[in-house]
Amino acid sequence: MSDIWPWFQQAAAELGVPVTDAQRDAFARYHELLVEANKVTNLTRIVDDRDAAVKHYLDSMLFLGQLPAELHERPLKLVDVGAGAGIPGIPLLIMRPHWHGLLVDSVGKKVQFMNEALEALGLSNSRALHGRAEELAREPGHRDGYDLGVARAVAALPELLELCLPFVKPGGILLVSKGAKGAEELASAGPALKALHGRLRSQAHLALPDGAGERNLYVIDKHDRTPAGYPRKPGIPHRKPLC
């Protein structure tokens, strides 16, 4: 095992998210799988041990710090929209293996990797699914079906809200992480929030270790079912965002 993991464990504790030794070992295993798979499939640019520990795994830990306390212990249904190689979904599921996760991506080879990683990590409550968010969120099993939606690095906020909020149950929460442009994107997200029955509950401005960047985390309440017209057809949320 690389010697980055004890440091990772300490850095996570400093962010307020204690990681057990077993969880630390699971992160090391996930990282090993990611680095191996990345040699043959383009999954991520970030593979250096410390870089990945900060920009993938600790970045994912920031999500946990923003969740209302009562959600951590529940066997909730999580959806990660545009999960890529599994960020933040797989780190969250390593930390909360009793959650039932669905990791969505439109690229089949990424979905295959995520399913292999979930199996190798013993995260048997969770699966990855190949598809466009705009289409999956119209299916009865997924629409208005999840307690918690998460996303990182998928789209600007108005588009992202249309890809994610339709998955979230009324009474559920969407938690998204944005970089330095978060405030600007939030300022233009009013129409999307209104149309999709979202309401900003809280926000946090945080910094990653190693000066690796700032993050704006937004917790959004979903207060009613998704209106019939949403999400619009694939590609429309990107070309004509609700703003």
Give min distance, CB of 64 to ligand SAM, in A.
15
Check residue 152 for interaction with ligand SAM (CB under 6 A): yes
4 or 155: CB nearest ligand SAM: 155
C-beta of residue 17 within 8 angstroms of C-beta of residue 58: no
**Six-digit token pair at 96?**
């909360």
Amino acid identity, residue 103?
Answer: L
Amino acid identity, residue 188?
Answer: S
| H or E stretch at 51 | helix 49-52
DSSP string, 158-225: HHHHHHHGGGEEEEEEEEEEE-TTHHHHHHT-HHHHHHTTEEEEEEEEEE-GGG--EEEEEEEEE-SP
Check residue 162 for interaction with ligand SAM (CB under 6 A): no
33 contact partners, CB below 8 Å, separation of at least 6: 113, 116, 117, 120
Give min distance, CB of 110 to ligand SAM, in A.
5
Check residue 110 for interaction with ligand SAM (CB under 6 A): yes
Check residue 154 for interaction with ligand SAM (CB under 6 A): yes
Check residue 128 for interaction with ligand SAM (CB under 6 A): no
Q: Taking CB under 6 A as the rule, which mask of x and - marks residues 38-77 in contact with ligand SAM? A: ----------------------------------------
Give min distance, CB of 70 to ligand SAM, in A.
26
74 or 78: CB nearest ligand SAM: 78
CA distance 53 to 91: 11
Give min distance, CB of 122 to ligand SAM, in A.
22
Query: What does the binding site for ligand SAM look like in residue numbers (CB under 6 A)?
Result: 82-84, 87, 104-107, 110, 132-134, 152-154, 163
